[in-house]
Amino acid sequence: MGLDSLLIPAVMFFALGVIAKLIKSDLKFPEGMTKGIGIYLLLAIGLKGGEALAKADFQLAVESIIWAAILGFILPIIGYGLLRFRNKVNTFDAAAIAAHYGSVSAATFLTAVAFLEVSGVSYESYPIVMMVIMESPAIIVGLLIAALARKRLAAEQGGEAVKTEWGPLLHEAFTNGSVVVLLGALVIGAVASPESMAKVTPFTKEIFMGVLCLFLLDMGIEAAKKLDALKKAGWVLISFGVIMPLIGGTIGVFVGATMLEFSLGGTFLLAILSASASYIAVPPAMRYGVPEANPSYYLTLSLGITFPFNVVVGIPLFYQMSIWYIGA
């Protein structure tokens, strides 16, 4: 395996994006283009997942959904515990960062899918459904921790606790664009006739890898932009950005292989989901719901540290770990 995982076009375009930024190239995407590409990628993977899900085992699909919810609640709690160890990070920053690590990164997942497809390894559709489910629970955990912290602070200082506006926050958690597109595409892919799905194949499958290259080129530029902010983040947060994906990925391998009995491809994808950190759905929710936290910390960590770490180290590492654990 070794360097092979890095020699797929999508990953090399990510590196190109980083290099372009480092050499101060004027390369940049038109405003809104990345959002458009992101919607396309989610739509394409959702349709593909839905098509496969229609033929899948119902019981295993339900079990996958339950495990996705469990992971979505447990991972941010582990992350919060790590960040609060010896009070190195304040409660609000810890709650907001932990929420990012309990949720998922679609870009990391799609890069892992590209890696499996280039390697000719098959995978189940369940991890795609799990990606949808895992988007939201961590947001709720982050908001709950912040709400409890506000109550505790108010009790200590003798003031009145700031009330959390749950309505708009829960609405954001469950109706954000990624969830709607992905869930909608899954359903459409599952109910559409095979003949009609064949008509959209050029759009959803054949150009998918090329569009992913564009997306990762932009992600490389954005990740490199965060490098300056790393100095402010400090070694505790930087270490967390590397340690937490290792913990999440290991848990993902265990749940995928032992609890859900996925194949090598499915186990690896669940490991990547558990190792990844959100940078699209969670930042706006934390920005509004936990305004006390510093946004530059969580965005720098998820996009500047964990995303590149997962693309370069996490993908080959969790693939090898899955092979070793399953004994494939």
Partner 1 sequence: MKTKMTEGKSVQIIINSTFENSLVKILKKIGVTGYTQLNARGNGNTGVQDGHSDGETNVLFVILLSKPMADTLIDNLQVYRKKGHHILIYAYDAQILDADLIGIE
Contacts with partner 1 by CB under 8 A lie at: 31, 34, 92, 162, 168, 222, 225, 229, 279-280, 283-288, 290-292, 294-296, 299-300
Q: Measuring CA to CA, how many Å separate 260 from each of 35, 65, 118, 124, 237?
A: 33, 11, 25, 11, 32
> For partner 1, which is the closer residue by CB, 5 or 302?
302
User: Among residues 12 and 153, whose Cβ is nearest to partner 1?
Assistant: 153
Give the separation between CA 50 and CA 187, rounded to whole angstroms. 6
CB of 40 to partner 1, least distance (A): 16
Comparing CB distances to partner 1, the nearer of 210 and 284 is 284
Q: Give me the least distance between CB of 303 and partner 1, in Å please.
A: 9
Residue from 94, 57, 63, 41 nearest 208 by CA? 41
Task: Tell me how far, at minimum, the Cβ of 123 lies from partner 1, in Å.
Answer: 28
> In the complex, what is the shortest distance from the CB of residue 291 to partner 1, in angstroms, rounded to a whole number?
4
What is the nearest approach in angstroms of partner 1 to the Cβ of residue 205? 27
Nearest approach in angstroms of CB 228 to partner 1 is 8
Return the number of the residue (117 or 292) whose C-beta is nearest partner 1.
292
How many Å apart are CA 251 and CA 86, to the nearest integer? 24
Nearer to partner 1, 21 or 48 (CB): 21
Instruction: Show the DSSP H helices in the chain as ranges.
Output: 9-22, 33-53, 58-84, 91-102, 106-119, 126-134, 137-157, 166-175, 177-191, 194-201, 208-225, 230-254, 264-275, 282-289, 295-299, 307-309, 315-326
Contacts 24+ apart (CB under 8 A), 252-258: 252/71, 252/318, 253/318, 253/321, 253/322, 253/325, 254/325, 255/67, 255/71, 256/127, 256/322, 257/322, 257/325, 257/326
Crossing angle for the helix pair 264-275 and 315-326, to the nearest 10 degrees:
130
Residue among 31 and 156 whose Cβ is closer to partner 1:
31
Cβ atoms 6, 312 nearer than 8 A: yes
Quote the least distance from Cβ 233 to partner 1, whole Å: 10
Closer to partner 1 by Cβ: residue 306 or 322: 306
